[in-house]
Structure 1
Amino acid sequence: MVIQYRRILELHGQKHSQRSIAASTGNSRAKIGDTIHRAEAMGIRPPFDSTVSDNDLAQRLFPELRPEAKGREVPDYEYLHKELGKPNVTLTLLYYEYEASCRQSGTAPYSYRTFCRNYTEYAQKFKATMRIRRKPGEVMEVDWAGSTLKLIDRDTGEFVKAYLFLATLPSSQYSYCEACLTMKTEDWIRAHIHAYEFFGGVTEVLVPDNLKVGVTKHKDYEAILNPVYRDLAEHYGTVIVPARVKTPKDKAAVEGTVNILSTWVIAALRHEQFFTLEELNKAVGLKLAEFNRRPFTKKYKVGNREEGFKREEQFALKPLPQSPFQMAAWRTATVQLDYHILVEGMFYSVPFQYISSRVDIRLTSDLVEIFFKDIRLASHRRCYGQPGQFATLSGHMPESHQLYLSHTPETSREWAKKVGPATVQVVEYLLTSSRAERQALNATLRLKKLAQKYKLNKIEQACTDVMRVAKAPTVRVIERMLINTTKKQQSQPHQEQNDFGFTRGADYFGRTTHESRND
C-alpha cells in the first residue's frame, strides 16, 4: 500500500480526524498516527512547497526505510530510477557503473542480487504512482476509434462523419486525440505530426494497426509499409512495428484508451453541434485535457496521466526534428529518350544513362526527387504554372548535348584563344563570313569536335597551314589536312623499319670485329 505522507499531513493540518484521513488515503490508522507523531516531533508542518514529494517526506520521517549497510556504499536510488528510464539503460549497466564508483572511492559495493532487490523495494515504496508497463519513451501506439463524431453541413443540414485519431504512450498512459474528416493517408500522417508536437518528443517505436494507410501489404511474414508512412518514420527517427494481424494485445494501451476516450470525448459531445472541423477539434482538445488531468481511479495509482507523463516519461522522449515532416506523394514513370520524365504536365531531367528505366518519384510541395532502386538520381525544384515546362540539369546530358547547349559565339572565341592565334583567325572568319549565326555555330562546333580526336597543337598547326595557303578556310580542309598529317606520321616508322633492320654485331656475342673476320 502506498503511504501518502504529504496528503496525511495536509489533511491533519486541516483538522481532519485520523478516521477520515484513513478513509481518504486508504492507509491504516496506525501508520497515520505514527506519521503525524514523527512529523510533530521534527517540526514538519504543511503547507509544503510544490517540489516536496512523498518520497522526500518518507526519507525525513522514516530514514530507516532507506537500506543501509555498515561499510557499504548505498546507491542513489532516485538517480537509478531516472537513468533506468533512458533508452538502452539496464540495471546491469547501472550496477557496473555503481561498482566502478565504489572502487574509486574505496568503499565496498552491494552484491548484484542485493542491489537489484533494494532498487525493486525502493521503486515499489516510493514510485508506485503508476504501474510502468513499458519503458518510458519507448513506444507510441496509434489507432482510429471505432465510434465517430458528427459535423453538420451548413448548406444541406446533413450530418458528416468525423473520425477520431488516438495516440497513447503506454508507460504513462498520456494520450492525444484529434478529429479528422477522413481516414486517408493525408489525415493519418497529419495526425501523427500533431501527436508528436503535442507530446513534445518522439518515441523509439511506433505501433500502428494494420491499416491500409500504414501497411500496404504483408509479404513473407514482413509488413510492407506505405512509402509516405516510411518517410515519416525516417524523418522523426523512429521505427514502425505494426501490430500482428488480429492481435490487439500488441497495442493494448491504445485499445484500452479507445474505449475510455469513446466515453470521455465522443459520448460527452453527443449533445453538442459543430459546423466546422476547427470547432469540433477545439471541443475535443478541452475534453482531452480533462481526460489527461483526471485523477487515477485505482488505489495503487496516485495523480493523473499528465503528471505521470511529465515526471516519468517526458525526459525519455527523443527531441523533435528542427522542422515538421512534409508530406510527399509517390509516383512511377519511365525515362524518355530525351532523358526526361513527365510528372503532372512538367518535364524533369534524369541522367541519360537511365533512358527507358522505370523510376520512382517523390513529390512534395516544392521538391521533386527521382529514385532508381532506392538510389536518388536527381532532385529538382517543383515547377508550377503553364504545363510543358522543362527542368534540365546539364550534368544529366550526354557530352555531345552539353557541348551543343553551351555553344555560343563567345564560347567559341574563348576556346580558340586556348588553342592558338591561327585557330582564332579561323574561328573569327567562320563567325563573320556565314550568312546565319546558326550556320557559323555549326561550323565552329565541328571544329571544336576535332579536339576529341586530335591534340590542340595539331589543330593549331593545321589552322596555321590552311591560313598560309587559303584566304577562305573551311573546317573540311582543316580536317582533311589533319587526316593526311596523321597518316604520314603513321607510315614513317614503318618505312624506317624496312630500310634499317636491326642486326646483332660481334660485340653482342663477346668478340671483336677482327676476331670475327679471322674465324
Structure 2
Amino acid sequence: MAVALGWDTAREPDEVLASRLLVAVRPGPKHEEPGETEGLLRPHRAQIESWLAGGGDQQRPLRLTKVHTLLRRRGVWVPYSSLHRFAKKHCGFGRQRATVRMVEPSPGELAEVDFGYLGLIPYPETGRRRKLWALIVTLCHSRHQYVHFTHSMKLADLIDGLEDAWEFFGGVTARVVLDNMRNAITRADHYDPTFQRTFAEYALHRGFVIDPAPVAMPTGKPKVERNVSYLRDNFFAGEDWRDRDHVQREAISWCLGTAGTRRHGTTQKPPLVVFEEIEKRVLKPLATARFDTPEWAGCTVHPDHHIQFRKALYSAPHRYLGRKVTVRGDRALVRIYRRGELIKTHPTQSPGGRSTDYNDYPQEQTAYALRDPQRLIRQACARGVSIGSFTRQLLSGTFPWAKLRQAQKLMRLTDKYGAQRVDRACRRALAFDLINVRRLERIIHHGLEDEATSSAVEQKVLPLEAKFLRPADSFTHHPHKEEDHHGDQDVTEDRPEEAAPLGGDDHVARSHGLRSQDKARTPGRPGVDPAG
C-alpha cells in the first residue's frame, strides 16, 4: 500500500507518507459524502444561517430549537441531533470564539473596580442583619488589591471606597475600568457612554480616565472579576463577624497578608512584592484633599423665593421666581445654577434649616421680610424729619415689633400722598402727642395737616375742667383715740365710733336726704340700740 502511495523503497519513509497511509487504512468512509439527513437540510442552509444570525426584520437570532420547529412547518422532518450536527458543521453554530490575550498593562496604568455581594452581617443600630457588599479595587500590573465594605452601592459609597483605596495604595492609576453601574454611568454605550455628573467631576478631581467595560461582558475586567469569589471563599465565608467595621479592619490585614503574599497564578509572583518594588513609585500622588462628594438636583424657585434641597430651604433672586434651577450641594456650600450660570451660593444647612438672603426679595418687600425696626426708622428719616421722629416714637419701647405694621403702613402713606404732605401731618400729630398711624391718615384725609403750622402762635394742649375732683383732705382719716405706747387703741363698747365725713362740708349727708327707714337705723337716734 505504501508503494502504491508513491513510496520509493530505496529511501526511508517520511511523515507525509505515514499520514497518507493512516488515512488509507483508517476505518470508515474514505470520502465524505452527504447522508440522507444532510441532503434534506442542504437546500435550506441559507435560511438556517439567516435564522441563527438574526438581523433584518427578524432583529434577534433564533434558538436552534425554534429553527427545528420552523423547519417542520416547512415539511423538513429531521431529528434535532441531525440538525445540530448540520448547523455546527455548515452554519458555524456553537463554534467557540477565539480569545486573544491582551498586552499586560504597564505599572500604574490601570485599576479594575467591581462590586460583589458577600452575605448578611449583624447591624448593631437595628439589631437585625443587613446585606454586605464589597468594592474591590485591583491594580492590574501587580494584582495588589484593596477591599471596601458597604451596606449599599450608591455613588457616595463608590467614591468613598475609591478614596480609601487611593490612600491605601498611596497614589492613583491613570485609568479606571468599572462596570456600567447606574450611579457612575448614566447611559451605557459601547463607543460613547455618558458619565454621571458627580462621578465625572470626581475623575477630574483625581486625574484618572473613566473606562467603562463593554456591556454584559465580564471579560472586560477579568483581573478583578475572579477576585470576588476569591474574597468570598478565602476571607468572608465561615467567620463570625460583629459588624461592618470589624470586617473592614480584618480585610486590610487580609489584603496585606494572605492576598498580598500569595504566589499569583498568572504572574507567579507575590502581588505585594511587585507593588512595593515596581508599581507603587509610579502611581500619581494624591495632590488634592479628599473629595467632598456633592449631590445634584433639579429644583423650582417657589413663590416664597426659596428652593427645597435635602430638606432645607435656600433663597434665590426674585427674577428666577417659578424657574427651574440646578442645585449642587456638598458638606460646605450649596450652589444654585440657572442654565449653567451660578446665581446663588449658600452655606449648607441641616435638614429643617433655612438660609435666606433678604436682598433676594424685591426692594419693596425687604423691610417687611426683615422685620428690622432700625431699618424702617432709617427709611422714615430719609423721607422727612417729622416722619422720622414719628416713626422713632412709634417703634420705641420694649417690643417695637408689635408696631411694625403701622410703620410699614406709614411708608405706604408716603407713596400714596407724598412725603411732604405726610411729613406735615406727622408734625401736627407730634404736637398733640398722637402716635397712631390710622388717625394720622384721617388727618391727611380731611386735609388738616396744614393747620398745625398755619399760625405763628405756638399751640398748647389745655386740659379740660375736672367735674368730680375732690379736695385732697377728703382721703385723710382722723382717728378719735391716739395709740398708746404699745400701739393699741381703746375701744369703747358703750357708744359707737362715728366716722368722719369724707371731703368738705358739701359732702356731709343731711338727715332730710335719708329715707324714713334709714333714719331709724342711724346711730345716736332714739329707739336704736347702739350695741346692735
Report the TM-score when normalising by structure 2: 0.50
1:201 corresponds to which residue? 171
1:309 corresponds to which residue? 275
Which amino acid counterpart does residue 371 of structure 1 have in structure 2?
Y
1:236 Cα offset (Å): 2.7
1:265 Cα offset (Å): 5.7
2:104 corresponds to which residue? 133
Deviations 1:93-116 (A, max 9, x none): xxxxxxxxxxxxxxxxxxxxxxxx
Superposed, 1:96-111 pairs within 5 Å as none
Distance in 2 separating the partners of 1:184 and 1:302: 36
Matched, 1:162 2:123: no
Task: Tell me if structure 2 keeps the 8 A contact 1:150–1:274.
Answer: no
1:342–1:431 CA distance, 2 compared to 1 (3 A)? same
Task: Tell me if structure 1 keeps the 8 A contact 2:378–2:388.
Answer: no
Matched, 1:183 2:153: yes
Matched, 1:291 2:255: no
Matched, 1:402 2:375: no
Q: Secondary structure at the match of 2:132?
A: strand
1:393 Cα offset (Å): 0.9
Matched, 1:263 2:234: no
Which of the residues 90, 111, 114 maps onto 1:143?
Answer: 114
Sequence identity, in percent?
Answer: 24
Superposed, 1:223-242 pairs within 5 Å as 223-242=193-212
1:280 Cα offset (Å): 2.6
Distance in 1 separating the partners of 2:299 and 2:176: 31
2:305 corresponds to which residue? 339
The structure number with the bigger radius of gyration is: 2
Give the aligned length: 328
Deviations 1:38-93 (A, max 9, x none): xxxxxxxxxxxxxxxxxxxxxxxxxxxxxxxxxxxxxxxxxxxxxxxxxxxxxxxx
Distance in 1 separating the partners of 2:371 and 2:223: 70
1:248 Cα offset (Å): 4.3
Q: Secondary structure at the match of 1:428?
A: helix
Distance in 2 separating the partners of 1:309 and 1:167: 14
Which of the residues 345, 353, 377 maps onto 1:379?
Answer: 345
1:369–1:408 CA distance, 2 compared to 1 (3 A)? closer
1:179–1:425 CA distance, 2 compared to 1 (3 A)? closer
Superposed, 1:427-466 pairs within 5 Å as 427-429=388-390, 431-432=392-393, 436-444=403-411, 447=414
Structure 1 residue runs without a partner (length 5+): 1-130, 452-458, 481-519
1:257 Cα offset (Å): 3.5
Which of the residues 356, 362, 376 maps onto 1:392?
Answer: 356
Q: Calculate the aligned-residue CA RMSD, in Å.
A: 4.5
Q: Secondary structure at the match of 2:346?
A: strand
Distance in 2 separating the partners of 1:235 and 1:401: 42
Distance in 1 separating the partners of 2:358 and 2:320: 15
Distance in 1 separating the partners of 2:319 and 2:306: 11
Distance in 1 separating the partners of 2:339 and 2:315: 17
1:413 Cα offset (Å): 4.8
1:326 corresponds to which residue? 292
1:219–1:264 CA distance, 2 compared to 1 (3 A)? closer
1:214 corresponds to which residue? 184
1:428 Cα offset (Å): 1.6
Distance in 2 separating the partners of 1:398 and 1:431: 25
Task: Tell me if structure 1 keeps the 8 A contact 2:111–2:176.
Answer: yes
Task: Tell me if structure 1 keeps the 8 A contact 2:301–2:307.
Answer: yes
Superposed, 1:437-516 pairs within 5 Å as 437-444=404-411, 447=414, 471=428
More helix by share: 1
Structure 2 residue runs without a partner (length 5+): 1-101, 396-401, 431-439, 448-532
Which of the residues 381, 385, 395 maps onto 1:424?
Answer: 385
1:171–1:398 CA distance, 2 compared to 1 (3 A)? farther
Distance in 2 separating the partners of 1:372 and 1:428: 45
1:472–1:281 CA distance, 2 compared to 1 (3 A)? closer
